[in-house]
Amino acid sequence: MIERVRIREELLEYLLELARDFYPNEFAGFLREKGGVFEEVLIAPGGHFGRTSAFFNTWMLPLDEEIKGTVHSHPDHVCSPSPQDLWFFSKFGGVHLIICYPYSAADVVAYDSEGNPLEIDVVP
């Protein structure tokens, strides 16, 4: 069972920047893990990023065993997963980050595939 998520500080800063850039729309991506640390984000081509949802086709992802999680933003102050988020978490598995407005490091919450919160460790 996953209890903690390790994410590279540079990636976290980039994800916060993406969330700010996409505002007032959501953005979504896939997280690549190397050596137990999330280090990169992939934005699937052909996605839709709207004010209340983000959609992407997982068939557009490369075959990559290092993709172990997802990230998406909420353009409001609610960092908890919606019913749609929980459905997606259960289908994709892994770790899921939600970044909510106003998009600071304190506005990032990690969840497992069942929607249980996880601790986040930011590493240099």
Residues forming the active site? 26
- How does residue 124 score in pLDDT terms, banded at 50, 70 and 90? very high
Q: How many residues does the chain have?
A: 124
12 lies in some domain: yes
31 lies in some domain: yes
The answer on pLDDT for 17 being more than 90 is yes
The answer on pLDDT for 74 being more than 70 is yes
User: Model's pTM, two decimal places?
Assistant: 0.89
- How does residue 106 score in pLDDT terms, banded at 50, 70 and 90? very high
Per-chain mean pLDDT for the chain: 88
CATH classification at residue 34: 3.40.140.10
Mean per-residue pLDDT for 103-112? 97
What pLDDT shows up at residue 28?
87
User: Into how many domains does the chain fold?
Assistant: 1
55 lies in some domain: no
- Tokens at residue 19, please? 């969330």
Mean per-residue pLDDT for 32-47? 86
According to the 3-state scheme, what is the secondary structure of the chain? CCCEEEEEHHHHHHHHHHHHHHCCCCCEEEEEEECCEEEEEECCCCCEECCCCEECCHHHCCCCCCEEEEEEEECCCCCCCCHHHHHHHHHHCCEEEEEECCCCHHHEEEECCCCCEEEEEEEC
Q: What Cα–Cα distance (Å) separates residue 56 from each residue in 27, 29, 43, 106, 118?
A: 10, 9, 9, 26, 24
Closest CA to 40 of 62, 56, 20, 55: 62
8 lies in some domain: yes
119 lies in some domain: no
- How does residue 43 score in pLDDT terms, banded at 50, 70 and 90? confident
2 lies in some domain: yes
Residue 90 domain boundaries: 1-44+83-106
56 lies in some domain: no
Report the relative pairing of strands 48-49 and 54-55 from DSSP bridges.
antiparallel
50 lies in some domain: no
